[in-house]
Structure 1
Amino acid sequence: MMRPLCFVLMPFGRKPMPGGGTVDFDAIYRDMIAPGIAQAGMEPVRADGELTGGIIHKPMFERLILCEYAVADLTTANANVFYELGVRHAVRPGSTVLLFAEGETRLPFDVAMLRAYPYALTGGGIAAAPETVAAEIAKRLEHARNGEIDSPIYQLVEGFPDIQRLKTDVFRDRVELARSTAERLAQARGAGVEAVRAIEEDLAPLADREASVVIDLLLSYRAVKAEGDMIRLVSKMTPALAQTVLVREQLGFALNREGRRAEAERVLTELIAQRGPSSETNGLLGRVYKDQWEAARTAGETFRARGLLDKAIATYLRGFETDWRDAYPGINAVTLMELRDPPDPRRTAILPVVRYAVERRIARGEPDYWDHATRLELAVLADDEAGAAEALGAALAATREVWERETTARNLRLIGEARARRGAATVWVEELEQALGH
């Protein structure tokens, strides 16, 4: 299982103390902080490795923000450390453990309120009891995992935004992209995979690029159906960026599209185990089980196929129950319920909830392809030919990427096949599928 990253904010080398003597921060990191992080089951990432000439640059900020946890040593009241701590507290609600050398540092009033842990130094400027402090660091990181809030902003400002909840489809709209690169990628998505690869070559090395640019590159590969390139790109990302929720979700998506379903399942189940269920992650995992079900059905594995279908339904439904506003896992759940033999009776109760969710989203303005595709599938499930025709026209007009229509056409084909087995008329459903280009 991929271990969470823990960013270490501290000076490096030997630093003088105001009262005389020096502190060996490299030894403190090696003997005390790194072991404590390891005991908590995390991977340390030290901040000083990201500094260039004393300047805190953009990739440094991204690692600082994207790492799930952090340990900050406030000894010597280093200006960079306090600045980095302020950035952490602005965007992370409860994920930073504070330390300082007892008797050597007078903490500012507002920081002192955050329960920084004191440790003793020897005459040589190293930790006097590194094992004890390491154990305390591990304990406090475990508390951070349980969601304890240590950020003044989160404590004082209700509803402060969580950067991990940004959706894939609005990521480009929520971050500042380098304008020229964004325009080139937009053009490349229309030209094909080779054009996107050419831009990736120009962006090398990716570690020096803003996270937003790398993410736009990843989603551009998705747009041109280059799932293998998506997997390769994730392997080239910095560990901090590669471990974000969005990237791990897209990695699971790409692995599944490449037929590497066991790997996709592992990536997504680990993410749910660490972060809890969500409409997006559960929706992607539900798609993995849905593809496994279809493969088992095609292979004639009747009983295994039935179990996988029920597993896919439960996974989609769990995602929808996590966030009723997101119709994506909901429509997939009711569609698969229709495909069971006999159909799952729960679908009649869930379908109106899914319809309300998508209608409210459309009413807020600027609906996307998936909103109209959801209306299309809902109309088909309700045997509403007129409503399906109207939703189809809106979906075709809102199409952004080819694979979107392929997904909808596939669902309509599955619904038509299930109804044909029951003796129902499906000609109009087949016509809808053909209109989507398949």
Structure 2
Amino acid sequence: MERVNGRAPARGFVVMPFGRKKNAQGEEIDFDLVYRELIEPAMLAAGVEPRRADQEMRAGGIHGDMFQDLLLADLVVADLTIDNPNAYYELGVRHALRDNATVSIFSSERPFLPFDVVGERSLLYAPIRAPVDQTVVEADRAKLTQMIGATLAAWRGRKTSPVYRFLPNLEEPAWKNLKVGDITEVWERLESWQALVATAVSKQRPADILLLADETPNRFLELEAIQTAVQALLKLDSVKFALAIIERGLALDPDNLWLQQQYGIALGRAGRFHDARARLSELAERHRTGETLSLLGLTYKDHWLRLWSKAGTPPAARRQKATAAAAFLEMAIDAYAKGFRASPYDSYPGINTLTLGRLWENLTGRTSRVDLDLITQGVRWTVDCILQRCNADLRHDYWAFATRGELRLVADGDGGGALEDFAAAAAQGVVDSNRAALQSTRQQLDILLDLNFRAELVQPARALIAEAETQLSVLQGARLERPKRIVLFSGHMIDNPKERGEGEGKKPARFPATKVAAAAAAIAAHLDSIKAGPGDLALCGGACGGDLLFAEACLQRGMALEMRLPQRIPQFLHDSVTFADSDQSWVQRFDAAMHNPQTTLLIMPDEIGPTPEGERGKMYDRNNRWQLYSALSLDLDTLKFITLLDRQSIEKPGGAQHMIRRIREYTGREPLVIDPTAL
């Protein structure tokens, strides 16, 4: 089954007898017929991928698969027409593992359900016998589809399992701890997906993560996948994309505390300080956790920074304005201190209490109401514990080194010890590809420098972190400077003469070979009209026709070029270049563009994995989204769109017309359109 609105198909599991079984009256029922005529089509119509335990063909027993399906299925349909022990056992397991999303059905051949399940959401269906009365079964099928849809759409907090309904304080088990034996198919998909996200982080490509977030591997694991994507995007400081993914997660689970916290962080980092503070203040009232209180402290800190840290403000004026706004700094200190008391094992609120507290004292000349000496002892103990645990586990922790460096700098005045720790943190930040952590540390040191707090100690520490950021960019091949302008292209391939043009049964001409020179001139004219040249970046595919004409024009103007292909080169050449290449000219153009030193060639299956199963037909649309997300991740304000498109084209996924719709949908802007039939 294909995805609907970017979501993986719902995973269904059917609990029922197999084959032919007799009911209480001794009449034989063909349950495989019931499955084929009623259950399977009803589930498919509701967007649920059905599965029965007997469909598992793997060698060995089916129990592991069954337990995994009962845990991971988005929906379970249980046929209770006869008192089958296996069916009741499986239904009981489902009720114990999950608190909702179970539908019971039974034939009108039995007068009533047993007492223990009589109160559950159930469908009574007419007996199904061969030959099947399609009028009757279609009516029951429609009712079951409607019931499944209503169950899946029900509020996530609604408990339908009698186990959870009558034991209201019972919580679902942590599903990560319930992986069964060697039945790992679903888990492997998630782990493979997470590995692709980790690779995208290491390459500093937020667009790859956004595309992968469209392809979460399973609905039950979708929230876990979304959280992985959010962490990765915030790690790359790609805040706008992170906000979009967080909102998707909150639509699935509005009460998810972690997502609510990340939403507050992302709003603050996007400059929406009032929204961030309002959201986090409300969270802090309901959840007095160290993390939530710390995030509230961060919003007050950001508000304070906004009042004095404007670029170009002279040093003396900065310090004066920072002192005048010290009330916000004090509110931040208070929130961080409360966070550290709530979570004394977390050094983050503690070190912020200490650093901001000493800075407040330096600015105001007064003693903080918070006992900073006691905070210092607490942070030192916490960091020492973290570092000892890391040593025992043979691993390194960026924040432990950075925190101890800041502690030595602020509390001890130990410049040498602080530099050792910041050097270790800098190296670890590069190893972890953690640009957001390096940036956060540098910004904290910038505050101290801007306000002339122990500048002689802070300056060399800040230089270490800044150098690590540069090293990370070099290692990842990232641009040290943003492009001045980004130009995204999408357009028709050259017409295949066997399919388009004059002749019986052929489609109308769209981009005939006779229009190549005129199209190349039009593309060049559009690039000249926006003054494209060195320092700009172009993004396109590599198909014969519009893509390669655009690539050539950009390279001639000294632009950097990113050429993205949906397939590996041999298959791509066969499908998208050589079909209309009797004289080998398009292959030569492809090779010239690919090997140009200004070109970066990116092959989709190698960079972000193959197109998910069941969606092969959307490979070109996936490549279009990859290009669009890549362009959007750079800078919307300088982004330009050029398309080569005849006005009569029918929109289909992966085509230029479909790309235009996506551009409008994501940006609200209109591309420059070149109609080859009008040239």
| TM-score bucket (shorter structure) | 0.5 to 0.7
> How is 1:16-415 mapped onto 2 (pairs within 5 angstroms)?
16-18=21-23, 19-23=27-31, 24=33, 25-35=35-45, 37-38=46-47, 43-48=48-53, 49-50=55-56, 52=58, 55-104=61-110, 107-124=113-130, 127=137, 129=139, 130-142=141-153, 144-145=154-155, 147-163=157-173, 207=185, 239-240=218-219, 242-243=221-222, 245-258=223-236, 261-289=239-267, 293=270, 306-307=271-272, 309-314=273-278, 316-317=280-281, 319-321=283-285, 323-325=287-289, 327-340=290-303, 341-342=306-307, 348=330, 352=334, 355-362=337-344, 367=345, 371-383=346-358, 386=373, 387-388=375-376, 391-392=379-380, 394-395=382-383, 397-399=385-387, 400=390, 401-404=396-399, 405=402, 410-415=439-444
Q: Give the direction of change, closer, same or farther, for the CA distance of 1:82–1:289 in structure 2 (3 Å limit).
A: same
In the TM superposition, what is the alpha-carbon distance from 1:176 to its structure 2 partner? 7.6
In the TM superposition, what is the alpha-carbon distance from 1:111 to its structure 2 partner? 1.5
- Contact kept, 8 Å, 1:9 with 1:70, in 2: the verdict is yes
| Separation of aligned partners in 2, 1:13 and 1:227 | 50
Helix, strand or coil at the partner of 2:337: helix
In the TM superposition, what is the alpha-carbon distance from 1:320 to its structure 2 partner? 4.2
**AA aligned opposite 1:159:** N
Helix, strand or coil at the partner of 1:284: helix
In the TM superposition, what is the alpha-carbon distance from 1:110 to its structure 2 partner? 0.6
In the TM superposition, what is the alpha-carbon distance from 1:316 to its structure 2 partner? 4.8
Q: Give the direction of change, closer, same or farther, for the CA distance of 1:334–1:68 in structure 2 (3 Å limit).
A: farther
**Partner residue in 1 for 2:453:** 425
Instruction: Give aligned pairs, total.
Output: 374
In the TM superposition, what is the alpha-carbon distance from 1:331 to its structure 2 partner? 1.4
Q: Give the direction of change, closer, same or farther, for the CA distance of 1:20–1:408 in structure 2 (3 Å limit).
A: closer
**Partner residue in 1 for 2:546:** none
In the TM superposition, what is the alpha-carbon distance from 1:160 to its structure 2 partner? 1.0
Give unmatched runs, 5+ long, in structure 1: 179-202, 294-305
In the TM superposition, what is the alpha-carbon distance from 1:382 to its structure 2 partner? 2.6
Q: Give the direction of change, closer, same or farther, for the CA distance of 1:55–1:280 in structure 2 (3 Å limit).
A: same
Give unmatched runs, 5+ long, in structure 2: 308-324, 359-370, 391-395, 403-428, 430-435, 469-679
**Partner residue in 1 for 2:14:** 9
In the TM superposition, what is the alpha-carbon distance from 1:273 to its structure 2 partner? 1.4
- Contact kept, 8 Å, 2:448 with 2:455, in 1: the verdict is no
Q: Give the direction of change, closer, same or farther, for the CA distance of 1:237–1:132 in structure 2 (3 Å limit).
A: closer
**AA aligned opposite 2:150:** K
In the TM superposition, what is the alpha-carbon distance from 1:424 to its structure 2 partner? 5.9
Aligned Cα RMSD in Å?
A: 4.6
- Contact kept, 8 Å, 2:40 with 2:50, in 1: the verdict is no
TM-score scaled by length of structure 1:
0.66
In the TM superposition, what is the alpha-carbon distance from 1:32 to its structure 2 partner? 2.4
- Contact kept, 8 Å, 2:280 with 2:292, in 1: the verdict is yes
Q: Give the direction of change, closer, same or farther, for the CA distance of 1:282–1:104 in structure 2 (3 Å limit).
A: same
**AA aligned opposite 1:324:** R
- Contact kept, 8 Å, 1:335 with 1:415, in 2: the verdict is no
- Contact kept, 8 Å, 1:334 with 1:351, in 2: the verdict is yes
Q: Give the direction of change, closer, same or farther, for the CA distance of 1:351–1:29 in structure 2 (3 Å limit).
A: farther
Percent of pairs identical after alignment?
Answer: 16
TM-score scaled by length of structure 2:
0.45
- Contact kept, 8 Å, 1:50 with 1:60, in 2: the verdict is no
In the TM superposition, what is the alpha-carbon distance from 1:240 to its structure 2 partner? 4.8
Q: Give the direction of change, closer, same or farther, for the CA distance of 1:356–1:207 in structure 2 (3 Å limit).
A: same
In the TM superposition, what is the alpha-carbon distance from 1:28 to its structure 2 partner? 1.2
Q: Looking at CA atoms only, which structure, 1 or 2, has the larger radius of gyration?
A: 2
Q: Give the direction of change, closer, same or farther, for the CA distance of 1:403–1:217 in structure 2 (3 Å limit).
A: farther
Which structure shows the higher helix fraction? 1
Q: Give the direction of change, closer, same or farther, for the CA distance of 1:116–1:321 in structure 2 (3 Å limit).
A: same
| Separation of aligned partners in 2, 1:238 and 1:289 | 28
In the TM superposition, what is the alpha-carbon distance from 1:71 to its structure 2 partner? 3.0
In the TM superposition, what is the alpha-carbon distance from 1:249 to its structure 2 partner? 0.6
Q: Give the direction of change, closer, same or farther, for the CA distance of 1:255–1:339 in structure 2 (3 Å limit).
A: closer
Q: Give the direction of change, closer, same or farther, for the CA distance of 1:274–1:220 in structure 2 (3 Å limit).
A: closer
Q: Give the direction of change, closer, same or farther, for the CA distance of 1:417–1:275 in structure 2 (3 Å limit).
A: same
Q: Give the direction of change, closer, same or farther, for the CA distance of 1:146–1:310 in structure 2 (3 Å limit).
A: same
In the TM superposition, what is the alpha-carbon distance from 1:398 to its structure 2 partner? 0.5
- Contact kept, 8 Å, 2:76 with 2:103, in 1: the verdict is yes
